Chains A and B, each alone.
Chain A
Amino acid sequence: MPNILAVKNLRVSVAGKPIIKGVSLALQTGKIHVLMGPNGSGKSTLAQVLMGHPTYQVTSGQILYQGKDLLKLDPTERSARGVFLSFQYPNEIPGVTVSSYLRMIHNKRFGTHLSPVKFRSILDKKLKLLKMETGFLDRYLNDGFSGGEKKRMEMLQMLVLEPKLVILDELDSGLDIDAIKIVAQAVNSAYRHTKMTVLLITHYSRLLKYIAADKVFVMRGGQIVQTGSHKLADELEERGYVPFGE
C-alpha cells in the first residue's frame, strides 16, 4: 500500500520560534492514523502546515502528497487536490448562508453548476447522517453556532467535498458524548464510502472508542517520539504522556 503523504525532516517556525523540530512521518493510503500528544507538542501546527496556513514558516524539510511537493501549493490548490482540514476552531462567517456556501464549494470542487434544488437533494442525506435540522441551511456559516454545531458543520463540509486526505484537528474538543458519536459516525461513513486517508489529531483517546485507528504517532516537543499500533493509544490512556517524555 503506497503512502499518500510523506513528511520528511520537517522544521517549522512561527515568528522565528521553532515549533516543529524535525518531524518525519508517512500516512498510508486508505488508513486511519492518529497523532496524539500533550498541549503545545506541535500537533495543531502540523495540521495547519499541511493545509498551507500562511503564518507558519517551513524552514526545512519536505512534504510529498501523492508524490508531489505539497509546499508549492496554496490552500485552494491543496483543497482542489483532495486535502481537507477540519478546524479545531472553525471561523464564523456572518452574512453567508450555509446553503449557498456549501453549494459554492461543491460546485467548485466538482466543476458542476448544480441548482439550489438539485444540490438540496444531495445534502439531505448528509444532514440526516449528522442529525442536523434543515434549519441549519438558512443560518450564517458558523455564526453563533455552539462548539458542537461548528464541529458538525465541519463534518458536513467534509461530506460535501469528499476529500482524499482528511486531517481532523481536535475533532472531539468541547463535545459531549452524544456529539462525539455523531461526528465519529460521519467520519466512519465517509471512510467506508470514499476510502479516504485519515489523520486524526487528538489530545485524548476517547474518540478512538468510535474510530478504529490503524496507526498511532505520539508527538512531544515538536518531534515524533513514538510510533505504534492502536495499542499505543491504550497505553497512553493508562499511563499518560509522561513516559514518552524527553
Chain B
Amino acid sequence: MSSKNAGTFRLESDLMGQRQLQASAKKRTKNPLNRDYKAKYGFSQPERHVFKAKKGLGPEIVRQLSTMKGEPSWMLDFRLKALEVFFRKPLPTWGGDLSGIDFDNIHYYIKPTAHPERSWDDVPREMKDTFERLGIPEAERKFLAGVKAQYDSEVIYDSLRKELAQEGVIFISTDEALRTMPELFAKYFGKLIPPNDNKFAALNSAVWSGGSFVYIPKGVVVKRPLQAYFRINAANMGQFERTLIIADEGSYAHYVEGCTAPVYSSDSLHAAVVEVFVKPGARFRYTTIQNWSGDVYNLVTKRARVEKNAIMEWVDGNLGSKLTMKYPACFLVGEGARGEVLSIAYAGKGQHQDAGAKMVHTAPHTSSSIISKSVSLQGGRTSYRGLVSVSPNTPGVKNRVECDALILDSQSASDTFPTMQVNDSSANIEHEATVSKIGEEKLFYLMSRGLTEAEAMSLLVSGFIEPIVKELPLEYAVELNRLIELEMEGSVG
C-alpha cells in the first residue's frame, strides 16, 4: 500500500475579516514575529576572530580549513569528496524556496578564538557578553549538566559537571573528538547521514566545524540536560556544525540546543548535520528551540538510529529563520524500538517553516508517533512534511501522526504533505490532521470574562501548543509563552 496526498489550506478572507465588534472599531496593526527580537537576540558584537575565510566555496577553502584544524588526511578526503557531491547535486525544489541563497556571498569558516575555554572567565569579552545577555551561564549554574557554546564556526566554551565526567560521560566539541578519540569517532561519523544523502548534508560534510560530540556510557542516566548554544555573530555567515551522539545500552540523557543570530539585512546560512545512535534499551531526548533571526536559511538534517527496545524523542521547536527545512528522522532498526517527534512551528511575516518528521520502520513491533502543531500569522507559512515507511515482513508496527495547524489571519497559510509507504499489511497506521482558526466564539467567551482580544488570542494560542510546551525545559516553556503574549499584543489593534 502506498499513498500520498497533499493539501494547502488558506482561510478565506471573510473568516477573520468579518469580525466586527459591536462597539469600537478595531484596526489591525502589523508587527513582525519576534518584535522584540532585535533587542533581545538581534544584537551583534564587533567582529573579532583569529581567522576568517574569504567569501565563496571551493576546494582551496576546504583544504585551508582542514589544515588549520590539523585534521588527518582521511577527513580532508572526506570533505573534498563531499564538496564534489554538493556541487553535483541540484538545489531541491520540492520544499521551500531556496533560490535566494547566494552561495558565493557566504563566509564558510570563521574561527573566533584559538581554542575552546573551560573556564567562563577566559572567554573573550564580546562573546562572554553575548552569552550572558542570552542567559547561558546563569542557566548553567542553575540546572544544566554541561554546556557548549558555539560562536560562528567554533565551540568557544565547554563545560561538564565533574561527576558526569567521572562516570565516563563525554561532552566535547566534535573537532576535539576527532583529535582525541579518532577510533570511536570514525566508527560513527557520517555513517547515518552520508554526504550524498542530500545537498545540504554534503555541504555540511565538506565544511563542517564545531558541534557537539556526546557519549553516554552503558547504563548511565544523566538527569539534567546537556545544553548546546549556537550563535551566529558575523554577517553573511555559514554555520555548519556537526553533532554526533552515542547513547550506549540502557543509558538516558536529554540534549537541548538553542540558536539565535543578529539581525542583518543580508542572508546567513545554517546547515547542520546531527547523527544520534541509540543503543539497545537506551533512551535519548533531543530538544531544539530554533529562534534564528529572519535572515537565516536553516537547512538541517537530523537522524537517529534506534536499536532494540530503545527510545528516541525529538522535540523540535521552530520559531525563527527565513526558511527552515528540517525533518528529524528515526530509523527504527531493532525490535521494539520507539521513535517520537514533537514538532512545533511558528511562522510570522516573511517566514516559511517547512518542518516535519520521518519514521522508518525496518524491524518488527516498532512504534512511532509524530505530533506536529503549527501557528501561522501575518503572512507566514507553515508546512508539515512527513514520511512514514514500513518495510515488508515487519509485523506489529504502529504509527500515529497528528498534525494540527492554526491559521490566525487570511494572509497566512498552512500545508500538509504526508507520505506513507506501508509494505506490511499488519501495520497499524493512523493519520489525523486538523486546520483551524481562532474561533470567534472562543474569543467572545474569553472576552466576556474580561480579557482583551489580544489576551484572549494569546491564551488560545498558548493552549493550542501546550501539549508540546509542557515537554520543554521550564525556561524554554516560559520564554515561548512570553513570546506569544508579545506577539498577540502586536497583532491585534
Contacts and interface: CB of A to CB of B under 8 A. Distances in A.
B463 A72 contact: no
A77 B23 contact: yes
A45 interface: no
B444 A96 contact: no
Given A91-B439, A93-B459, A96-B462, A54 B448 contact: no
Contacts of B453: 74, 76
A51 interface: yes
Given A52-B22, A55-B440, A76 B463 contact: no
Contacts of B462: 95-96
B450 interface: yes
B24 interface: yes
Interface in B434-479: 439-442, 444-453, 455, 459-460, 462-467
B99 interface: no
Nearest to B26: A74
Interface in A170-203: none
Give the size category of A's interface with B.
20 to 34
B447 A96 contact: no
Contacts of A105: 449-451
Interface in A104-129: 104-105, 108-109
Give the size category of B's interface with A.
20 to 34
B187 interface: no
A54 B22 contact: yes
Contact of B449 (A55, A73, A94, A157): A157
B93 interface: no
A173 B466 CA distance: 31
Interface stretch (A21-29, A79-87, A204-212, A222-230): A79-87
B463 A54 contact: no
B451 A104 contact: yes
A87 B453 CA distance: 18
B114 interface: no
A85 B446 CA distance: 11
B211 to A, nearest CB: 34
B20 A93 contact: no
A76 B459 contact: no
Contacts of B451: 76, 104-105, 108
Given A93-B459, A94-B463, A96-B463, A74 B22 contact: yes
A104 B460 CA distance: 14
Nearest to B20: A54
A73 B439 contact: no
A76 B447 contact: yes
Given A79-B450, A96-B463, A105-B450, A71 B445 contact: no
Contacts of B39: none
Contacts of A104: 451, 455, 459
A91 B447 CA distance: 12
A80 B446 CA distance: 12
B19 interface: yes
A55 B441 CA distance: 10
A53 to B, nearest CB: 6
A74 B23 contact: yes
A90 interface: yes
A83 to B, nearest CB: 8
Contact of B460 (A55, A73, A93): A93
A221 interface: no
Contacts of B452: 76
A161 interface: yes
Contact of B440 (A54, A78, A87, A157): A54
B463 A71 contact: no
Contacts of B466: 94-96, 140
Residue from B23, B448, B450, B452 whose CB has the most chain A CB atoms within 10 Å: B450
A58 interface: yes
B27 to A, nearest CB: 14
A142 to B, nearest CB: 9
B21 interface: yes
Nearest to A143: B463
A147 interface: no
A79 to B, nearest CB: 4
Contacts of A80: 450
Residue from B23, B449, B466 whose CB has the most chain A CB atoms within 10 Å: B449
B38 to A, nearest CB: 29
A71 B23 contact: yes
Contacts of A18: none
B440 A161 contact: no
Contacts of A54: 19-22, 440, 444
B448 A51 contact: yes
Residue from A58, A95, A108 whose CB has the most chain B CB atoms within 10 Å: A95
Contacts of A87: 445, 448
B440 A93 contact: no
A101 B450 CA distance: 11
Given A54-B22, A54-B440, A95 B465 contact: yes
A75 interface: yes
A170 to B, nearest CB: 15
B450 A109 contact: yes
26 contacts: A51-B444, A52-B444, A54-B20, A56-B22, A72-B24, A74-B22, A74-B23, A74-B24, A75-B444, A75-B447, A79-B448, A85-B448, A87-B445, A90-B445, A91-B445, A93-B446, A94-B463, A94-B464, A95-B463, A95-B464, A95-B465, A101-B459, A104-B451, A104-B455, A108-B455, A161-B450
Interface of B: 19-24, 439-442, 444-453, 455, 459-460, 462-467
Given A54-B19, A96-B466, 15 more contacts: A52-B444, A54-B444, A71-B22, A76-B453, A78-B448, A79-B447, A93-B459, A95-B462, A95-B465, A95-B466, A95-B467, A104-B451, A104-B459, A105-B450, A108-B455
The 9 closest A-B pairs by CB, nearest first: A95-B463, A95-B466, A79-B450, A75-B447, A96-B463, A91-B445, A75-B448, A91-B442, A105-B449
